Amino acid sequence: MTAPAVVPVGAEQQVGPGSVGCVATAQLAGSTFSAAVSDLRRGWEQRSLWGHLGWQDIRQRYRRSFLGPIWISITMAVTAIALGTLYAGLFDNDLAVQMPHILVGFIVWGFISGCINEGAEVFTSNVGLITHLPAPLSVHLYRLIWRQTLFFLHNLVVYVVMLFVFPQDLHWTGLAVIPAFGLLALNGAWAALLLGIVATRFRDLVPIAQSVVQLAFFLTPIVWIYDELANSPNPAIAERAKLAEFNPFLHFLEIVRAPMLGQNQQLHHWIVVLAITVVGWALTMVVLRRYRARVSYWV
């Protein structure tokens, strides 16, 4: 019998468009960690491609709209104002405290939920490009993270307006928001990549992920203030509130929100986030190495 031909790593770049079989065959040659790392590296090098596609996603979504992407910020601001007014009354909090807390929480949560919800469909929603474009799989991941970053930056307009209405005691430690958002993006990337691969094989994971994100919204201190409940004079409430420490979203939210509101930062939030980053990427690289070549078949 004739030995099967071995396709060199990176040969998918030479495969012409139009054949999923050819793309997959090329990818099969690289079921190693080096091939997985190479996919991420080559995808990063194609910044002009995924940068353009991510920008076009936003323009296409609001095509023929007079206000365009401003609707994103308007919708978020209106929701935050409504919930801020409601929960300030329910918890008897100062509106100047409750409103910024909710508004910044919405901005950060929008990025987190976007990476998870859209990450679960990052490959199935790009089936045409995957089967016809000889590009690394990570291109679609970078496109997603770039699009969510643009949404995040766009929503900062509402944050700036909030600073004029409800001034915050900001200082130089607020610059910690830059590395904090970098960690948030790194974790959003591995979560989207991991969910995207698994959900491509098991399509039921998409609605499950969406339901989990919706449930996590209420379990995460976005509209309620964790410190107030954790320090409640009612021991039952305080004990239950401290269970939120087991919610990983709490730590991601706080490392970004605290510097944006000029609040003191807690070291344990950063430690937990760094630990999740390392473990998450380690697990994702194992899955990427093993199943990267099968994605083009599964879609």
Residue 190 covered by a domain: yes
| Exposure on the CB side of residue 258, measured as CA atoms within 13 A | 19
Residue 64: what pLDDT?
Answer: 64
Residue 8 lies in a domain: no
Question: Is residue 105 pLDDT above 90, yes or no?
Answer: yes
The DSSP letter of residue 292 is G
Alpha-carbon span 12 to 25, nearest angstrom? 8
* Interatomic CA distance for residues 178 and 184, integer angstroms: 10
Least confident of 15-19, 109-113, 275-279: 15-19
Q: Which residues contact 65 (CB under 8 A, 6 or more apart)?
A: 71
pLDDT digits (tens, 9 = 90+) for 52-64: 888 888 877 766 6
pLDDT at residue 69, rounded to an integer: 65
Residue at 21 is within a domain: no
| Domain-embedded: residue 84 | yes
Residue 182 lies in a domain: yes
pLDDT in tens, 164-217: 999 888 888 889 999 999 999 999 999 999 999 999 999 889 999 999 999 999
Q: Write the secondary structure of 196-233 as one string of H (helix), E (strand) and C (coil).
A: HHHHHHCCCHHHHHHHHHHHHHHHCCCCCCHHHHHCCC
Look up the pTM and report it. Answer: 0.84
Q: What residues make up the domain containing 95?
A: 33-298
The closest of 115, 250, 121 to 185, measured between CA atoms, is 115
Which residue has better confidence, 296 or 247?
247
pLDDT category at 76 given cuts 50, 70, 90 is confident
Q: Binning pLDDT at 50, 70 and 90, where does residue 230 land?
A: confident
In a domain, 165, yes or no: yes
pLDDT in tens, 44-54: 998 888 888 88
The number of folded domains in the chain is: 1
- The band of 227, judged by pLDDT with boundaries at 50, 70 and 90, is confident
Provide the mean pLDDT of the chain. Answer: 84
Mean pLDDT of 12-29: 41
For the cut 80, the answer to whether the pLDDT of residue 19 exceeds it is no
Instruction: Give residue 66's pLDDT band: very low, low, confident or very high (50, 70, 90).
Output: low
Q: Is residue 4 part of a domain?
A: no
> Tell me, what's the pLDDT at 16?
41
Give domain status of residue 88, yes or no: yes
Contact (Cβ atoms closer than 8 angstroms) between residue 67 and residue 75? no
CB proximity list for 9: less than 8 A, separation 6 or greater: 29, 30, 32, 34, 35, 38
For residue 99, name the pLDDT band (cuts at 50, 70, 90): very high
80 token code pair: 């935050």
